[in-house]
């Protein structure tokens, strides 16, 4: 066996890697089944910080969403952005989109089109969300926004003056935001927002980033960075949390709209597999057949594909990493076997 491994054609390794990547993609694509995620404290902290934004002020939160990446990093970062917008929209936060990257507005439009316009069509531009677009200047933009936001951003991406946008009333600097949520692929990105916003003005900051950035940002957690998502793994964990939260929130909303008491609603939202049975009980007698059907669909229906991309991509990554670990082990076995043969000769 050692001799076979010594003389193994590298093309077999390439084929094995191709299968480890392609087979999970095909299986997940055909079945829709993804691997379950166990969120880490970093992802949970990211979610919790977004969830409680604005609570101290007793009003809707003003969340500044900075999408500082381009299509080259979208595979890792777009799942984070979509889930972030999904959570903010479900929670009712006001969303202020900006970017310090030239191609960032394309990423903003993608998030708005895929999440807000499709799943939250009742949200009104200028009242619930606004796109301020790209501004050149890197960290200098952040510094100026800390003093006077309107110096850098005079209009939105469509050219409308900020004074004519209702949700911009009272927003003059970074200190008027309850939270900064930043998705970063490099410079300018997470580190610059930490140094010139979170540290300077003590504003809560959460950040999602590529895998190569994560190690250099870990020291900022949990003081300057309140939550951190690293690479596709962090995206998958955050997706998992947000998808559960949105489904439970919608179940509670339907039950509340149909006169079901809060205690029952809360209990059912934690036991979604019991919803179908519950709709046949006496407690659900006040609900119309249409309301029951909607409730069952929300509780048991498939999660939209837009909010599963991170978890889907974990499949091929998992098997590719397992293959790499196996190859490293086999390589070391061959190495030590060769050394032993050479030493005993």
Average pLDDT of the chain, as a whole number: 92
Region of residue 116 (phi > 0: left; psi between -120 and 50: alpha; otherwise: beta): alpha
Percent of the chain whose pLDDT exceeds 90? 74
Q: What backbone phi and psi angles, to 5 degrees, belong to 63?
A: -115, 120
Domain that holds residue 237: 41-241
Digit-coded pLDDT (tens) for 239-251 = 999 999 999 999 9
The whole-model pTM stands at 0.89
343 pLDDT band, cuts 50/70/90, is: low
User: What residues form DSSP beta bridges with 179?
Assistant: 63
Q: What is the mean pLDDT of residues 24-30?
A: 88
Amino acid 345: pLDDT:
43
> Quick check: is 287 in a domain?
no
What is the strand order of the sheet 62-68 is part of? 129-134, 94-99, 62-68, 179-184, 205-209, 227-230
* HSE of 27, CA atoms in CB hemisphere, 13 A: 13
Position 39 pLDDT exceeds 90: yes
> Quick check: is 258 in a domain?
no
Digit-coded pLDDT (tens) for 71-130 = 999 999 999 999 999 999 999 999 999 999 999 999 999 999 999 999 999 999 999 999
Residues 6+ apart with CB under 8 A from 72: 185
More confident residue, 340 or 191: 191
Rounded to whole angstroms, the Cα distance separating 280 from 310 reads 36
Digit-coded pLDDT (tens) for 123-173 = 999 999 999 999 999 999 999 999 999 888 999 999 999 999 999 999 999
CB 284 within 8 A of CB 276: no
Rounded to whole angstroms, the Cα distance separating 326 from 20 reads 12
Q: What is the mean pLDDT of residues 28-37?
A: 83
> Quick check: is 256 in a domain?
no
Nearest alpha carbon to residue 323 among 24, 13, 104, 77 = 13
Rounded to whole angstroms, the Cα distance separating 104 from 151 reads 20
> Quick check: is 160 in a domain?
yes
Rounded to whole angstroms, the Cα distance separating 112 from 324 reads 38
Domain count, the chain: 1
Digit-coded pLDDT (tens) for 53-78 = 988 787 899 999 999 999 999 999 99
Question: How far is residue 122 from each of residues 44, 64, 125, 129, measured CA to CA in Å?
Answer: 28, 20, 10, 11
Tokens 């952040």 found at: 142
Amino acid 339: pLDDT:
82
CATH number, domain with residue 127: 3.40.50
Residues 6+ apart with CB under 8 A from 25: 312, 315, 316
223 pLDDT band, cuts 50/70/90, is: very high
Rounded to whole angstroms, the Cα distance separating 254 from 329 reads 53
Amino acid 55: pLDDT:
87
Residues 6+ apart with CB under 8 A from 64: 96, 98, 174, 177, 179, 180, 181
Burial class (CB in 10 A: 0-12, 13-18, 19+), 304: middle
* DSSP codes of every residue in 108-164: HHHHIIIIIHHH-TT--BTTTEEEEEE-SSTHHHHHHHHH-HHHH-SB-TT--BGGG
CB 299 within 8 A of CB 275: yes
> Quick check: is 113 in a domain?
yes
Joined together, the tokens standing for residue 132 give 């301020």
């Amino acid at each position: 066996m050692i001799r076979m491994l010594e003389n193994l054609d590298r093309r077999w390794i390439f084929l094995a890697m191709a299968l480890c990547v392609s087979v999970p993609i095909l299986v997940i694509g055909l079945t829709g089944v993804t691997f379950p995620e166990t969120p880490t404290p970093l992802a949970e902290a990211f979610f919790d910080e977004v969830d409680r934004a604005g609570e101290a002020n007793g009003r809707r939160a003003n969340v500044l969403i900075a999408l500082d990446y381009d299509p080259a990093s979208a595979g890792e970062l777009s799942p984070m952005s979509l889930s972030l917008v999904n959570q903010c929209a479900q929670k009712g936060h006001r969303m202020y989109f900006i970017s310090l990257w030239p191609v960032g507005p394309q990423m903003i439009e993608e998030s708005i089109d895929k999440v807000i316009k499709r799943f939250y069509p009742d949200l009104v531009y200028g009242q619930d969300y606004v796109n301020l677009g790209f501004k050149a200047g890197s960290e200098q933009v952040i510094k100026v926004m800390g003093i006077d936001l309107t110096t850098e951003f005079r209009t939105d991406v469509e050219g409308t003056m900020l004074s004519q946008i209702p949700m911009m009333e009272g927003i003059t600097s970074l200190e008027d935001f309850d939270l900064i949520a930043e998705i970063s692929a490099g410079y300018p990105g997470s580190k610059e927002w930490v140094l010139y916003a979170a540290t300077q003005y003590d504003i809560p900051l959460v950040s999602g980033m590529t895998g190569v950035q994560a190690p250099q940002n870990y020291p900022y957690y949990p003081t300057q960075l309140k939550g951190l998502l690293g690479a596709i793994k962090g995206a998958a964990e955050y997706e998992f949390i947000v998808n559960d939260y949105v489904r439970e929130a919608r179940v509670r909303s339907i039950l509340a709209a149909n006169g079901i008491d809060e205690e029952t609603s809360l209990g059912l939202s934690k036991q979604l597999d019991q919803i179908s049975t519950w709709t046949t009980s006496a407690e659900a007698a006040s609900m119309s057949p249409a309301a029951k059907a909607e409730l069952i669909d929300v509780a048991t229906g498939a999660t939209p594909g837009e909010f599963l991309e991170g978890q889907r991509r974990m499949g091929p990554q998992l098997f590719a990493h397992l293959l790499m670990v196996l190859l490293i082990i086999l390589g070391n076995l061959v190495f030590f076997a060769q050394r032993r043969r050479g030493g005993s000769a």
